[in-house]
Each structure stands twice: as structure tokens, then as C-alpha cells.
């Protein structure tokens, strides 16, 4: 064998299906050999006593996204992808958010401009559809899907984002015809408005009432409705950030009947609870996200969903704001209710260590399940596999080297995101990524940043293998 660019030697390589002790040979940004005695290389990386895993793929992150008047998101592409790299990720999937009245194509151009030359790792964009006009559905969206933007998100809540049922059906129909996969934020907007108004009239405005305004039935109903609407059109959907057992059971019901309904959960639903919103003064605002953290029974249900395959992917829903700022969680004077606190928490850097420690180390899931939930399944679901998400000959050399025994107490001071806090402050974890390699280039080495902020590329995607073939019309109404 001719000389390699690099060899990762002596580690234990794990994929979603197998774990084996072998070396990894890299040339030209690709994995070209797996085995022993791979010859010589310009660089040899010693991985003895460590795990060699596919780099994490976080398919649900928000970066540089408009968040309302006077509110500024804490992470741009430079800081967000840097934090992701330190967390063992090699690709993140942010959203290009269309604003009301905006061309979808223009939204994509705007986000590319924000990301260009500012990414430490690879990125691949989803779209957010907030204004499904005939122009968007008939021309822009089909063209963008053809260009490799093969998934998009719709909302059932939030002012200026929530789509009506008929709009959802129209978007679902376009997804079926173009072969796209739809991500759904499932919460009932009108129910949340009703509960919020009643809480505020009663003077219940502290951050903890954010959870009260979005109880489990609000999410369960919307999940059921999204599944029913998708069934009418026969289109696959991904229900994102599922927080509880009742919503999960809706997904399980659909899956048991052969419907193409997929599920995602996040670390906040595994280790946080609604009690975290009870902090003094505005401290509880640090935990305001939607859906909110629930109770311990919901935690157990979400773990069961990961263990049994109801959830195919585990993402961070990284949506970072600063706490000690009127442009973040401490909203301007005069807007003292929980409803004005920007929804979202940081988590892209801590996603993988939390699942490794709470899942693999504690025996809830296997190492191979961990790889599937954090990398391989994301790549398969969103049209990136086999180029991304696995360690195999021919795949991109996107690799995270882990110290499985390293004990770390998560603290804001050791993290690299743009937020000024972490909701997981003080959580002790076992297992931590120490080296991150993107397409054969080392970005983080032994806990130090060595890659440039222009190392990452945008990756266009194939259509999801779970989506309908492009050109498939919506089924006719049955009499």
C-alpha cells in the first residue's frame, strides 16, 4: 500500500453495527483502509486505550437565526461549529429560516453568506417554511430540493411560524412530490395562547409557568394531528424534540401500522425536569425551551424510546441565548412574563458526552446504539450516508476519538459556545471526546483547537431513502 496521509493506530473502532480493534488509514480526506499493519503515513495518531467513533452528526441546531425584536442568538457559525467540534461532532445541520414575505431562495443565500468561511466543521442546511405561498411550493421549494436541500421544517406553534392544517397539508403534498423529508415541531399554538393568557391574567408570569403553558396534552395532540395529516398525504415525517411518553406513544402507534413516522429526542428531556425552571428570580429562564423539560416519568419514557428504537435520532436542538443580557434570557423591562423569554438552550457541545455517560456507561444503551443515535442514523435519515456517519472504506474521514474513562464535570468555563451559561452546569459525566477529525484534517487535538474556522464545507444531500420517490403525486381522496 502506498503511503497514507495519516493512520489512527491502536484504537477500538465502533460503528452502528460492530466494534473491532483495528487501525484506520486515511488518504485524501477519505478512509481508505481498516486493519493492521497499514504501512507508513505522514502522521500517526496514537489511539491506544481510546474509542474511534464516527464524528457526531447533530441534525437539529440553530445558528445565527433571527429570534424576535431585540433578541440576539448567542452563537454564529464560527462559535457554534467550534463548540460542536469540541463536542466530538463533525457535521451539524442548521436551519435556513424563511421569514414571512421572504423568498425561500433568498433565505438560503442569506444563510450561506453567514456561514461562508466561518465553519470549523461541515454543515448541511435544512429549510424552515413559514410562508408557503404558491411561488414557494410550486417553484422555489422543488428547485431547492433538487439542489440538495432535501429536508425542511414546519411549525405548529409560534407567532409568524405556525402553519394552519391546510397549509401543513399543502407543504406535505409538495414534500411527497419532491421526495423531501419533513420535520415537524408539534405543539398546539391556540392551546398555548389560551393557557398563556389565563396564566398572565392570574399573575403567574415567572419562568416556571412556561412549562405550565405547554403541558403534555398540547404536544400529544399536535403530534397526533401531524401524524394524521401526514397519513392523509402519505408522506414521511420526523417529529422533533419529543419530550414525553404520551407523544412518544403516538409515534409508536404510527410506526406499528407501517406509517413512515420517525422520532427525535434531546438531552434536555433525559436529564432535566420542569423543576429546573423553579430558580429564584429569573434563573429559571435558563431552562426555557419548547417543549419544556417534563417530569421523571417523561425522562424514563424518553430513555425507553431510545432503547427500543421509537426514536431514530438524538439531537441537541441547540438554540443558544445569553442569560445575563436583555438581548437574551433577561428580556427588556416591561416584558416580564415567561412568554417573552426566548425559547432555547445551548447543548451542541454537551450532547454526546451526556448520552455516552448516561446511556452507554450506565448500561441503558450499547456503544453501537450510541453511534447509530448520534451519527449513522442522522446520515441515513437525511441523505448523507454512506459518505457521512460511519467508519468504512470510502467514507469521509470524519472521526472522533474518545477517552471513555475520562471524568468531567460540565461547567460553563470549559465550554466553547457563545452563551454565558450551560443548563447542565455541575453534571458529572464519564467519557469525553478528545480529538475531532473532519475529512482527514484534525480540528481539535487532545482538547486544543488546531483547525481553522474555514475548514468546514457545506454538504448538499441526496433525498432521504425514507422519503417518497421524487415525482410521486399525492394520493387521490378516497370515497
**What whole-number distance in Å separates Cα of residue 394 and Cα of residue 21?**
19
Record the cell numbers describing residue 295, joined without a space: 417530569
Query: Tell me, what's the pLDDT at 349?
Result: 98
Query: Tell me, what's the pLDDT at 333?
Result: 59
Q: Which fold has domain 56-368?
A: TIM Barrel (3.20.20)
- How many residues comprise the chain? 479
Record the cell numbers describing residue 259, joined without a space: 406509517
Over the range 222-232, which residues count as b (16 or more CB within 10 Å of their CB) and which as e? bbbbbbebbbb
Q: Are 100 and 130 in contact (CB under 8 A)?
A: yes
Of 56, 123, 93, 91, which Cα lies nearest the Cα of 370?
A: 56
Is the pTM value of this prediction over 0.85? Answer: yes
pLDDT digits (tens, 9 = 90+) for 276-332: 999 867 899 999 999 999 999 999 999 999 999 999 999 999 999 999 998 999 876
Distance of CA 400 to CAs 102, 143, 264, 436, Å?
A: 39, 35, 22, 5
Q: Indicate the domain borders of the chain.
A: 56-368
For the beta carbon of residue 17, count every other beta carbon within 10 angstroms: 10
Strands of 351-413, DSSP E: 399-409
* Partner residues linked to 31 by β-bridges: 26
Listed in sequence order, the residues at least 6 apart from 196 whose beta carbon sits closer than 8 Å to its beta carbon are 213, 339
Record the cell numbers describing residue 468, joined without a space: 417518497
Distance of CA 197 to the CA centre of its chain: 31
Query: Tell me, what's the pLDDT at 166?
Result: 98
Of 365, 442, 372, which Cα lies nearest the Cα of 401?
A: 442
**What whole-number distance in Å separates Cα of residue 359 and Cα of residue 378?**
18
Distance of CA 44 to CAs 12, 26, 75, 93, 324, Å?
A: 15, 10, 34, 30, 44
Query: Tell me, what's the pLDDT at 281?
Result: 77
Distance of CA 44 to the CA centre of its chain: 32
**What whole-number distance in Å separates Cα of residue 193 and Cα of residue 213?**
8
Query: Tell me, what's the pLDDT at 334?
Result: 56
Listed in sequence order, the residues at least 6 apart from 95 whose beta carbon sits closer than 8 Å to its beta carbon are 61, 62, 65, 125, 126, 127, 128, 153
Low-confidence ranges of the chain (pLDDT < 50): 478-479
Amino acid at each position: 500500500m502506498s503511503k497514507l496521509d495519516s493512520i489512527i493506530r491502536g484504537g477500538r473502532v465502533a460503528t452502528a453495527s460492530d466494534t473491532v480493534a483495528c487501525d484506520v488509514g486515511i488518504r485524501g480526506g477519505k478512509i481508505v483502509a481498516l486493519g493492521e499493519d497499514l504501512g507508513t503515513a505522514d502522521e500517526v495518531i496514537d489511539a491506544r486505550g481510546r474509542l474511534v467513533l464516527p464524528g457526531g452528526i447533530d441534525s437539529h441546531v440553530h445558528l445565527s437565526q433571527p429570534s424576535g425584536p431585540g433578541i440576539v442568538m448567542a452563537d454564529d457559525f464560527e462559535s457554534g461549529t467550534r463548540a460542536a467540534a469540541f463536542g466530538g461532532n463533525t457535521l451539524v445541520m442548521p436551519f435556513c429560516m424563511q421569514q414571512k414575505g421572504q423568498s425561500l431562495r433568498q433565505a438560503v443565500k442569506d444563510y450561506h453568506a453567514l456561514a461562508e468561511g466561518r465553519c470549523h466543521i461541515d454543515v448541511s442546511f435544512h429549510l424552515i417554511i413559514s410562508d408557503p405561498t404558491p411561488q414557494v411550493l410550486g417553484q422555489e421549494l422543488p428547485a431547492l430540493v433538487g439542489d440538495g436541500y432535501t429536508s425542511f421544517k414546519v411549525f405548529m406553534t409560534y407567532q409568524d411560524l405556525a402553519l394552519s392544517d391546510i397549509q401543513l397539508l399543502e407543504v406535505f403534498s409538495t414534500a411527497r412530490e419532491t421526495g423531501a423529508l419533513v420535520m415537524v415541531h408539534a405543539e398546539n399554538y391556540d392551546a398555548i395562547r389560551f393557557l398563556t393568557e389565563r396564566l398572565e391574567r392570574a399573575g403567574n408570569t415567572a419562568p416556571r409557568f412556561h412549562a405550565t403553558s405547554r403541558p403534555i396534552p398540547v404536544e400529544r395532540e399536535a403530534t397526533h394531528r401531524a401524524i394524521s395529516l401526514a397519513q392523509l398525504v402519505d408522506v414521511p415525517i420526523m417529529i422533533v424534540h419529543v419530550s414525553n411518553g404520551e407523544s412518544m406513544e403516538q409515534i409508536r402507534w404510527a410506526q406499528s401500522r407501517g406509517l413512515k413516522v420517525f422520532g427525535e429526542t434531546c438531552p434536555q428531556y433525559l436529564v432535566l425536569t420542569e423543576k429546573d425552571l423553579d430558580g429564584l428570580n429569573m434563573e429559571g429562564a435558563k431552562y426555557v425551551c419548547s417543549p419544556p423539560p417534563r417530569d421523571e416519568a417523561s425522562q424514563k419514557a424518553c430513555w425507553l424510546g431510545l432503547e427500543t428504537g421509537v426514536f431514530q435520532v438524538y439531537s441537541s436542538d441547540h438554540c443558544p441565548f445569553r442569560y445575563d443580557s436583555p438581548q437574551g434570557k433577561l428580556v427588556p423591562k416591561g416584558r416580564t412574563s415567561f412568554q417573552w423569554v426566548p425559547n432555547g438552550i445551548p447543548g451542541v457541545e454537551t450532547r454526546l458526552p451526556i448520552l455516552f455517560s448516561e446511556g452507554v456507561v450506565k448500561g441503558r444503551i450499547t456503544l453501537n446504539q450510541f453511534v447509530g443515535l448520534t451519527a449513522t442514523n442522522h446520515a441515513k435519515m437525511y441523505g448523507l450516508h454512506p459518505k457521512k456517519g460511519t467508519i468504512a472504506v470510502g467514507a469521509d474521514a470524519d472521526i472522533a476519538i474518545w477517552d471513555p474513562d475520562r471524568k468531567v464535570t460540565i461547567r460553563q468555563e470549559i465550554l466553547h459556545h457563545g452563551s454565558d451559561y450551560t443548563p447542565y452546569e455541575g453534571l458529572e459525566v464519564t467519557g469525553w471526546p478528545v480529538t475531532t477529525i473532519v475529512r482527514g484534517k484534525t480540528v481539535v487535538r487532545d482538547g486544543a483547537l488546531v483547525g481553522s474556522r474555514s475548514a468546514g464545507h457545506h454538504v448538499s444531500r441526496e433525498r432521504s431513502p425514507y422519503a417518497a420517490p421524487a415525482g410521486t403525486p399525492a394520493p387521490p381522496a378516497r370515497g
